[in-house]
Amino acid sequence: MKAKLIDGKAIAAAVRADLAAEVETLKAGGTEPGLAVILVGEDPASQVYVRNKTRACAEVGIHAEEFRLPADTTEDELLALVAELNARTDIDGILCQLPLPKPLDDAAVIAAIDPAKDVDAFSAVNVGHIMIGDYTFLPCTPAGVMEMLHRSGVEVSGKRCVVIGRSNIVGKPMAMLLLHENGTVTVCHSRTENLAAVCREADILVAAVGRAKFVTADMVKEGAVVIDVGMNRDESGKLCGDVDFDAVAEIASQITPVPGGVGPMTIAMLLKNTVTAAKRRAK
């Protein structure tokens, strides 16, 4: 393996240490950052995510409140809870763990969260602010990727950047953040022709497609920086990313592992957004 490992765990720990110091300062001034986490139903993956987020909040001194609702909760009941949390002055951020059980509507719940408390940055208002470059919050995963690039000494300006995947949560905002830093950005998806050839042009390649080991060595340019956003299981049930790590690591200059890459950064950025919201309240 010749690629240098971009250690998401270590970078996230450094971000959390910075945030813990900021939280101390806020508390000394009489403001305790507060995050409300809503979990509907019994989805095991969602339960793990919520537990990790709550634990991370405790680590940096953010007050986290969990609201666990049964799977048969009605949309009216869920929206009533969101309205109540919007009104609470001690809650700076509201996170509703997605996807919601059917027939609940993810979009309706996202739209109901006050944009000033939308620490996932999923609302149309916050997405619009990201588009024009005038934002308070950034979506946690793309923001985490940018933080990793900055702290690993990767210059984005002038580079060819390829993002595989066009989801609202990762692909689209990822492209915007790279564009804001003067990258030349291509977004690829299931209809992209000559995908491997397009990917081979990338100085920075971000894989967010949700398919195990989708990015193979022949899709990567010598010396590229490869960021793997995927979280999948391989044929033997082992956790893996969207990138064939062992093969691509022989070609890339820097690469993120799975696990221990982008995942810890996503939670660190959620904490950062919550602290940002608390700082706005303190003002």
- Please give the positions annotated as active site: 53, 97, 120
Contacts of 106 (CB under 8 A, 6+ apart): 98, 99, 100
Mapped onto helix, strand or coil, the DSSP state of residue 21 is helix
Beta strands, E only, 108-168: 160-164
Cα 214 from chain centroid (whole Å): 20
Report the sign of the C-alpha dihedral through residues 74, 80, 83, 88, in that order: negative
Antiparallel, parallel or unpaired: β 184-188 and 93-96: unpaired
In Å, what is the CA distance from 181 to each residue of 113, 133, 199, 264? 29, 10, 20, 23
Contacts of 51 (CB under 8 A, 6+ apart): none
Q: How far apart are CA 151 and CA 1, in angstroms?
A: 21
In Å, what is the CA distance from 126 to each residue of 9, 63, 111, 123, 259? 27, 24, 11, 5, 29
Q: Are 187 and 172 in contact (CB under 8 A)?
A: yes
**Nearest Cα residue to 39 out of 49, 28, 31:** 49
Q: How far apart are CA 62 and CA 41, in angstroms?
A: 25
Q: Are 113 and 82 in contact (CB under 8 A)?
A: yes
